[in-house]
């Protein structure tokens, strides 16, 4: 009789283990399933990117994340990369920062997290350098304007000097 009760206990523990493990497996499988069904959408977005059609690629990624938030980390990462791509004429560091920050906040366990952290620091450094470059450009513009003004004054002084020399010659001839 003790053996029957022991079997029931084993089945109870097996049932309990299954109940605990099932959600873990389902969440992993759900993510795998999402990756599988979104593969054609990702490929299309990558094709747009390869063609240089970054606006269409971002729109495609936005559709993917709207329909399949479980793969949002990969989508946000790709969008961030598009926004900082040197080939993208409409690159936008602020939007890239938003994508990477959203990835870090919403998907802390993502495999893209470390790369996003690195890219955020690089973008911040680039932004700081861009600000310095813009300040220096404004200073260069001011200095160029000053040089132009000085050159104009120099030309005026040359004219005055030439006029004085001519008047001096004329004056000396008349004496």
User: What's the pLDDT at 6?
Assistant: 56
Strands (E), the chain: none
Please count the structural domains in the chain.
1
| Element spanning 175, H or E | none
Q: Which domain holds residue 124?
A: 2-174
User: What's the pLDDT at 24?
Assistant: 47
pLDDT tens digits for range 117-131: 999 999 999 889 989
Compute the average pLDDT of residues 159-174: 85
Rounded percentage of the chain residues whose pLDDT exceeds 90: 62
CATH code for position 96? 1.25.40.10
3-state secondary structure of 87: coil
Question: Which pTM does this prediction carry?
Answer: 0.64
Contacts of 71 (CB under 8 A, 6+ apart): 31, 34, 35, 38, 64, 65
């Amino acid at each position: 009789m003790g053996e029957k009760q022991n079997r029931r206990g084993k089945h109870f523990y097996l049932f309990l283990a299954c109940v605990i493990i099932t959600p873990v497996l389902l969440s992993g499988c759900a993510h795998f399933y999402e990756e599988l069904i979104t593969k054609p959408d990702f490929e299309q977005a990558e094709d747009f990117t390869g063609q240089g059609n970054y606006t269409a690629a971002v729109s495609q990624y936005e559709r993917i994340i709207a329909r399949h938030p479980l793969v949002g980390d990969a989508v946000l990462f790709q969008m961030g990369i598009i926004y900082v791509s040197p080939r993208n004429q409409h690159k936008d560091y602020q939007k890239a920062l938003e994508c990477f920050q959203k990835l870090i906040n919403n998907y802390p366990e993502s495999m893209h997290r470390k790369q996003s952290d690195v890219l955020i620091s690089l973008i911040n450094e680039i932004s700081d350098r861009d600000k310095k470059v813009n300040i220096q450009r404004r200073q260069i513009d001011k200095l160029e304007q000053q040089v132009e003004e000085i050159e104009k004054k120099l030309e005026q002084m040359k004219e005055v000097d030439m006029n004085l020399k001519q008047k001096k010659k004329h004056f000396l001839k008349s004496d």
